[in-house]
Amino acid sequence: MRNAQEFKPASWLDDRVGCCLPIWYCPFLTSILTSILTSETSVIHNMKTTRFFSVFLMVAVCLSGYAQKVITAQSPNGQVSVNVTLSDRIYYDVVSHNETLLKQSVIGMQLTDKTLGANPVLKKKSVRTVNETVKPVLPLKYSEVENNYTLLTLDMKGGYAVDFRLYNDGVAFRMRTSFPGEIEVMLENTVFQLADNCDLVLQQPGGFKTSCEESYSIVKSNEWKKEDRMSELPVLIMGKNQKILLSEFDLVSYPGLFLKGNADNSLTATQPRAPIEYEDQGDRSHRILKEADYIAKTSGTRTFPWRYMLITQEDGRLAENTMPMRLAQKCQIEDTSWIKPGQTCWDWLNGIPYGQDVTFKGGINLDTYKYFIDFASRNGVPYIIMDEGWALSTRDPYHTNPDINMPELLRYAKSKNVGVFVWLPWLTVEHNMGLFKQFEEWGIVGTKIDFMDRQDQWMIDFYDRVAKEAAKHHIMVDFHGAFHPSGLEYRYPNILTYEGVRGMEYNGNCTPNNSIWFPFLRNAVGPMDYTPGSMLCAHPEAHRGDRPICPGVGTKAYHMAVFVLFESNLQMLMDNPCRYDQWPDCRDFLTSVPVNWDETRVLAAKAGEYIVMAKRKGQKWFIGGITNDQPRELDVTLNVLPEGKNLQMTSFVDGVNADRMAMDYRQLKSSVTKGTKLHIKMVRNGGFAAVIE
């Protein structure tokens, strides 16, 4: 087999009229042509040879029609198209706004006994347009969205098919198979061949065992070599005129996709092989003893994950991405009324209260958790999370720490209308799947499950089993130590959020220079357990601290803003209640920020540098803006507001000394109307936050 870039179809051949392979693709005809062109008798001076050459060209074109077929489909507005070439493999080009972004990329899959996509023969082609309205159970960005796309289906001889969805803002494709029994997938022959060299924004782990918390790196597509670290998803492709957000969706009983470079502008699929022998390694990990030679053993009749590309000419559209919502399967939970997203207090980073009202010994005990519950109750925060230490042993979820008195704590929380989540290592969950039934009986509403750190098929199945079993017993789930959201959260919306991000737990290593990418990458593909809400703030060079006093990096206004910008169905208040009470204006703002939204609009953005975003819940708008380590002055227009209304805006801005003293901020009040121009000034590592009502 040739690699993707070796095959170059003739640009003058139009697929819509039934087209042909260029004559140099046919080896037999090429050999004849070569002998003619190298003949001692010049074609120019030999009329007979000239006639023969003309006939030869016509025959070549006709014969080559059997070797290739090119199929074109367009998005509903005609601005995005794919050209699928069926020759020795399945190739495709992606064109957006008259610019070729991907050229001769490859789709294929190697099974034990056959290669899907090798010498493909088309049985049937269908094209239809879909236009529907999608309303998610948990509206992370929008309460509803139009799902309008062109569906191109290519059914191939040999029991498989390829589906393309062409959206006005992107492309998604997947494979389908129709084989009896089970199949073994050895590897994917998936190649994303970029048409031009460009920067790639990547998270590059040292191997397949990763919590997906690496800082972003930027590499050039023609310099990313095979021996370099691979990348997990999502990946941001920074083209000159357009950007592509590349990720996957509908990941079911199949390993997650990683990508490798080839120093030639191509991104090649690589995936972890399926573990078949393993043993416990401590209380929160497996030691894999033996791997299969396949990446997945799975049903022979199924759909495989979508690989999708959000394409945009405006950076802000990355942060508004709704492709996951549009690709999602139907919710599998019939009654979702018990699934209630919201904010939660959290004790891990800043768990020791202090101050005049604290007359008890702080720690993992009943008095401390009651203190958290009281704060949550009086501020309308629906949950608290009890992190490691609530159980007597991390391996045993049924016997609790006696200092907590769990029955009394749960009784007290219920009396205050506060729900309780408890933390667990995933391995403890795996060995005790009955705990969900027990938790329901106790009155626990959710679990925070940690340290999965893998994306092989076995672990993807674990996520699925947890979602189903938890749903049976009305338990919500926060997947910490996890990879990016890939569709499970739509099938089972009791899965509220995932980590898979360098969040506040990294303390001084969680910097605005890295976090500025989150709206454009990680949060663009789904909910993100970042743990925001720091009340103590410092610039990177001045940051000091660790548990139980963990400041955040960035200004105070920055940390107010990320509570609006960063999206999670279980948004954590990472600081201690005593510190929120020291800044009641900040406390009242943070605890008023919704976690689900009716509308999301980016007002200004440049990927990796700054973003200002407005979000609406009902009649109220919130605004969050942050910058990297460079100061910004931006003018934005409030065109999102309703006509003819004078509204009150309460804003939090960087103080005059915030460029040196990150704690410096000002709360301001002003009147605004539709069309009001805001001048936003942010210092380095700074921000802007506001509510309009």
Specify the pLDDT at position 67.
56
- Is the Cβ–Cβ distance between 352 and 363 less than 8 Å? yes
Active-site choice (15, 505, 575, 664): 505
Q: Is the pLDDT of residue 37 over 50?
A: no
Torsion of CA 334, 335, 338, 342, to 10 degrees: 60
- The whole-number pLDDT of residue 53 equals 46
Whole-number Å distance between alpha carbons of 517 and 513: 8
Annotated catalytic, 441? no
Residues 242-277: tens digit of each pLDDT:
999 999 999 999 999 999 999 999 999 999 999 999
Does the predicted model carry a pTM greater than 0.85? yes
Residue 85: pLDDT above 80?
yes
What was the pLDDT predicted at 26?
Answer: 41
pLDDT for 50 beyond 80: no
Confidence tier at 439 by pLDDT (50, 70, 90): very high
| Secondary structure (DSSP) of 208-259 | S---S-PPEEEEETTT--TTS--B-S-EEEE-SS-EEEEEEE---SSPPPEE
Residue 203, token pair as written in the block: 């998270």
For 3-38, b/e burial (b = at least 16 CB within 10 A) is: ebbebebbeebebeeebbbbbebbeebeebbeebee
- pLDDT reading at 449 higher than 90: yes
H or E segment and range at residue 407: helix 406-415
Q: How many CB atoms are located within 10 Å of the residue 293 CB?
A: 11
Give me the amino acid identity at 45.
H
Active site residue 283: no
Q: What distance in Å separates the CA atoms of residue 198 and residue 629, rounded to the nearest whole number?
A: 23
CA 118 to CA 105: how far, in whole Å? 14
Please answer whether residues 235 and 200 qualify as being in contact, where contact means their C-beta atoms are separated by less than 8 angstroms: yes
* 63 phi/psi in degrees, rounded to 5: -65, -40
Percentage above 70 pLDDT, the chain: 90
Residues in contact with 16: Cβ distance below 8 Å, sequence separation at least 6, in sequence order:
72
Three-state helix/strand/coil letters over 320-388: CCCHHHHHCCCCCCCCCCCCCCEEEEECCCCCCCCCCCCCCCCCCCHHHHHHHHHHHHHCCCCEEEECC
Is 60 exceeded by the pLDDT of residue 62? no
Residue among 85, 83, 88 at smallest CA distance from 101: 83
The answer on pLDDT for 33 being more than 50 is no
Section 175-204 average pLDDT: 98
Number of H helices and number of E strands within the chain?
14, 40
Local confidence band at 4 (pLDDT 50, 70, 90 cut-offs): very low
Percent of the chain with pLDDT over 90: 90
Give 53 or 580, the one with higher predicted confidence.
580
607, 517 contact by CB (below 8 A): yes
pLDDT band at 19 (very low <50, low <70, confident <90, very high): very low
Contact 155, 161 (CB under 8 A): yes
Catalytic residue among 93, 450, 453, 529: 450
Tokens of 82: 């794919």
Q: What is the structure's pLDDT at 68? A: 79
Q: What is the average pLDDT across 446-458?
A: 98
Mean pLDDT of 85-93: 98
The pLDDT value given to residue 75: 98
Between 692 and 23, residue with greater pLDDT: 692
Condensed to tens digits (0 to 9), the pLDDT of residues 540-564 reads 999 998 899 999 999 999 999 999 9
Computed on alpha carbons and rounded to an integer, the radius of gyration of the chain in Å comes to 28
Residues 6+ apart with CB under 8 A from 583: 535
pLDDT greater at residue 561 or residue 15: 561
Within 13 Å and on the Cβ side, how many CA atoms surround 399? 5
Q: What is the mean pLDDT of the chain?
A: 92
Convert the pLDDT of each residue in 356-412 to its tens digit.
999 999 999 999 999 999 999 999 999 999 999 999 999 999 999 999 999 999 999
Pairing of strands 342-346, 570-573: parallel
Question: Quick check: 666 pLDDT over 70?
Answer: yes
- Provide mean pLDDT across the span 66-70: 73
Digit-coded pLDDT (tens) for 122-177: 999 999 999 999 999 999 999 999 999 999 999 999 999 999 999 999 999 999 99
**Residue 206 burial (C-beta neighbours within 10 Å; 0-12, 13-18, 19+):** exposed
Residue 625, pLDDT > 70, answer yes
Q: Which residue has the tokens 């003819």?
A: 644
H or E element that contains 164 = strand 160-167
User: In the prediction, which pLDDT does 483 show?
Assistant: 98
